[in-house]
């Protein structure tokens, strides 16, 4: 009988270990601190433009997906924001990675904190109003009205 209890205890311990140990290996970006973007799967090699996917990518990898280029890079390829020709000069690319000044002081300030921005849901034409604004220390915000209001997606203020 003692042997049966030992085996049962071992099996239960192993099952619990496996169930709790594997949780860290899920390929999801679900540790949102703000309003939350839950269970969004992203891959390092993926290209994303939607709010949830780009936010999850930033949260997971700390950088934008490879389909984003800065305004300077786009201009070097022939982009003219007034013409809305990004899709013609840089097919599949979106604008992102440029400094965001937070001049109105809407977003929280901290020593050394810098914000950057990227376009969301663009189709290669004109840029639109939707943006993600993110900091180097993990804050990720979404604005759908060109910086009038912000929704915290990841991080803690």
CATH 3.10.620.30 fits 32-154, yes or no: no
Q: Residue 24: its pLDDT value, please? A: 32
The tens digit of pLDDT for each residue in 55-66 reads: 999 999 999 999
pLDDT tens per residue across span 79-94: 999 999 999 999 999 9
Tokens of 93: 């690319």
Q: State pTM to two decimals.
A: 0.77
> Would the pLDDT of 110 be above 80?
yes
pLDDT digits (tens, 9 = 90+) for 121-154: 998 899 999 999 999 999 999 999 999 999 999 9
Sequence-ordered list of residues with C-beta below 8 angstroms from that of 93, at least 6 positions apart, any chain? 67, 68, 69, 74, 86, 124
Q: Check 117, 148, 151, 156 and give the catalytic one.
A: 117
Confidence of residue 23 (pLDDT cuts 50, 70, 90): very low
Q: How far is CA 133 from CA 12, 18, 30, 38, in A?
A: 46, 38, 19, 19
Residue of 39, 72, 146, 148 with catalytic role: 146
Q: Is 117 a catalytic residue?
A: yes
| Residue 146 annotated to the active site | yes
Domain-by-domain residue ranges, the chain?
32-154
């Amino acid at each position: 009988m003692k042997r049966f209890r030992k085996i049962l205890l071992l099996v239960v311990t192993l099952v619990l270990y496996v169930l709790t140990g594997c949780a860290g290996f899920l390929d999801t970006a679900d540790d949102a601190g703000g309003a939350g973007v839950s269970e969004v799967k992203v891959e390092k090699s993926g290209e994303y433009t939607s709010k949830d996917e780009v936010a999850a990518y930033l949260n997971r990898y700390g950088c934008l997906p490879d389909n984003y280029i800065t305004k300077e890079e786009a201009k070097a390829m022939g982009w003219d924001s007034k013409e809305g020709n990004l899709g013609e000069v840089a097919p599949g690319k979106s604008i992102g990675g440029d400094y965001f000044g937070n001049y109105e002081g809407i977003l929280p300030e901290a020593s050394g904190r810098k914000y950057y921005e990227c376009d969301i849901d663009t189709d290669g034409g004109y840029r639109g109003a939707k943006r993600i604004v993110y900091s180097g220390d993990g804050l990720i915000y979404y604005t759908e009205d060109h910086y009038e209001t912000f929704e915290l997606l990841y991080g803690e203020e």
